[in-house]
Amino acid sequence: MKYDNYDEDAIRRSRKRKSQLMKKKRQKILRRRLIMMAAVTFLIVLAAVIVNVTLGLKKTLGQKAAFASDITDETQSEILMPTEAPTEPPLIYSQMAADYQDLSADAQIASPYAALLDVNNHRIIAGKLADTKIYPASMTKVMTLIVVSENIDKMPKTYTFGFEMLNRLYREEASVAGFLEGETVDVEDLMYGLVLPSGADAAEALAIMAAGSNEEFANLMNEKCKELGLKYTHFTNPTGLYDEEQYTTPSEMAMIMKYAMDNSECAKVLSTFQYTTEKTTQHPDGILLTNTMFSRMYGTEVEGVTITAGKTGYTDEALNCLVSYAVTNKGNAYVFCTGGATYRWAPVYDEIYVYKNIIPASAKDLETETTKMSPNN
């Protein structure tokens, strides 16, 4: 069939033009999309750059401010506080007084070793071989008490006794507070058990609580000696049981007692006459503990003087010893330490004699009524 006006070439050309127009249109749309994507990408990059620059600036400004603050603090420290006040030493090492009284020839003093410390003036004012090495026996427990009181916040609250320790102390014939196997005791009861009846069971329990072992605790004791400037004192255990390497001098033991009495917690324990521990299954009524020194005296035997605290000691090697703290009615404080006495009451008699006759009369108010010695044996 043949159509009029039908021109095949014209139709082909028309289709070709339409195709070219569609292609140009698609290319135009594509270019627009590419431009838009490029613009978006540019904006994203720009935003990231701005954020990083801002953060970097803040960090730099912060560092500069901190640096400026450091400089300011240091500068102020240098300008306002050029020197810090010197730290007061924990213990002033007591020297022999210029008028030191040698008691070696005094027949009234039975102990072969002794030292009288004037606390207010940091002077050893009298003594017998005051700087001679002695074994401290249970006077050791004064240093044990010091170390425990200064480490108490780091220690467990209670200790449960086991058979091995108690059995060993029994075989060593050590003095004990009387705690039993399986008994759980708190730190306060152990501190009183350490001092009043001179309990080696309490001493070792506290040592383990504070340092893990007797040996490690002895290291703490010796570190304290070094801190206090003690020159002739060394410890190997917390109990005072004999060891050739555990020693002190009457002078330095007096200084240790003085330091202990400056600690309110130590002073409270050392000054207590009697104390009852908390009730436990093993001790339903608690344990009544009595101070070994105050069981031999009242503390008011000397006119114008009150003996407020003390610690006794004895081993076969150390013999009888005692360190005590006394205050006169005029507020003067003294520490007297003895060692090596051959009988039990000698340190007590020596102590009373020295506080009565060697302390200067000017340091005492002699109008106070004299009291008598305790008949308690």
* Token pair recorded at residue 114: 């002794």
Residue 186 has pLDDT above 90, yes or no: yes
Report yes or no on 287 lying in a domain.
yes
The CATH number of the domain where 343 resides is what?
3.40.710.10
Check: CB of residue 127 under 8 Å from CB of residue 100.
Answer: yes
Confidence band for 360, pLDDT divided at 50, 70 and 90:
confident
State whether 215 and 344 are in the same domain.
yes
Domain containing 35: what range? 31-82
Catalytic residue chosen out of the listed positions 94, 111, 175, 198: 198
pLDDT in tens, 269-309: 999 999 999 999 999 999 999 999 999 999 999 999 999 99
pLDDT in tens, 141-164: 999 999 999 999 999 999 999 999
Residue 28 has pLDDT above 70, yes or no: no
Q: Identify whether 372 is a catalytic site residue.
A: no
Q: Identify whether 25 is a catalytic site residue.
A: no
Confidence band for 48, pLDDT divided at 50, 70 and 90:
low
pLDDT in tens, 203-262: 999 999 999 999 999 999 999 999 999 999 999 999 999 999 999 999 999 999 999 999
| pLDDT confidence of residue 4 | 47
Confidence band for 51, pLDDT divided at 50, 70 and 90:
low
| pLDDT confidence of residue 84 | 56
Report yes or no on 233 lying in a domain.
yes
State whether 234 and 347 are in the same domain.
yes
| pLDDT confidence of residue 49 | 58
Catalytic residue chosen out of the listed positions 94, 138, 175, 324: 138
| pLDDT confidence of residue 162 | 97
| pLDDT confidence of residue 192 | 98
State whether 45 and 100 are in the same domain.
no
Report yes or no on 1 lying in a domain.
no
Report yes or no on 47 lying in a domain.
yes
Report yes or no on 18 lying in a domain.
no
| pLDDT confidence of residue 57 | 47
Report yes or no on 251 lying in a domain.
yes
State whether 308 and 209 are in the same domain.
yes
Confidence band for 322, pLDDT divided at 50, 70 and 90:
very high
Q: Identify whether 138 is a catalytic site residue.
A: yes
State whether 112 and 77 are in the same domain.
no
State whether 73 and 106 are in the same domain.
no
- At 233, the amino acid letter reads T
Report yes or no on 20 lying in a domain.
no
Report yes or no on 112 lying in a domain.
yes
> Which of 82, 112, 144 corresponds to the end of one domain?
82
Mean pLDDT, the chain, whole residue set: 85
Question: What is the rounded distance in angstroms from the CA atom of residue 261 to the CA atom of residue 247?
Answer: 21
Compute the average pLDDT of residues 15-30: 61
State whether 145 and 248 are in the same domain.
yes
Catalytic residue chosen out of the listed positions 94, 111, 128, 141: 141
| pLDDT confidence of residue 92 | 85
Residue 29 has pLDDT above 90, yes or no: no
State whether 120 and 164 are in the same domain.
yes
| pLDDT confidence of residue 47 | 64
Question: What is the rounded distance in angstroms from the CA atom of residue 89 to the CA atom of residue 82?
Answer: 21
Confidence band for 12, pLDDT divided at 50, 70 and 90:
low
Residue 81 burial by Cβ neighbours in a 10 Å radius (0-12, 13-18, 19+): exposed
The two beta strands, 123-128 and 113-118, are antiparallel
Question: What is the rounded distance in angstroms from the CA atom of residue 138 to the CA atom of residue 201?
Answer: 12
State whether 246 and 152 are in the same domain.
yes
> Which of 82, 111, 145 corresponds to the end of one domain?
82
Residue 193 has pLDDT above 80, yes or no: yes
State whether 167 and 289 are in the same domain.
yes
Q: How many domains does the chain have?
A: 2
Task: Please name the residues in contact with 179: beta carbons below 8 A apart, sequence gap of 6 or more.
Answer: 161, 166, 185, 193, 199, 201, 202, 205, 282, 287
For residue 176, which of 146, 196, 148 has the smallest C-alpha distance?
196
State whether 140 and 285 are in the same domain.
yes
Tell me the pTM. Answer: 0.75
Percent of the residues in the chain that have a pLDDT greater than 90, as a whole number: 70
pLDDT in tens, 52-104: 555 554 544 444 444 334 433 333 333 344 455 556 678 889 899 999 999 99
| pLDDT confidence of residue 369 | 41
Task: Please name the residues in contact with 272: beta carbons below 8 A apart, sequence gap of 6 or more.
Answer: 192, 195, 196, 291
Task: Please name the residues in contact with 133: beta carbons below 8 A apart, sequence gap of 6 or more.
Answer: 232, 247, 248, 249
- Please give, one letter per residue, the 3-state secondary structure of 339-355: EEECCCCHHHHHHHHHH
State whether 68 and 197 are in the same domain.
no
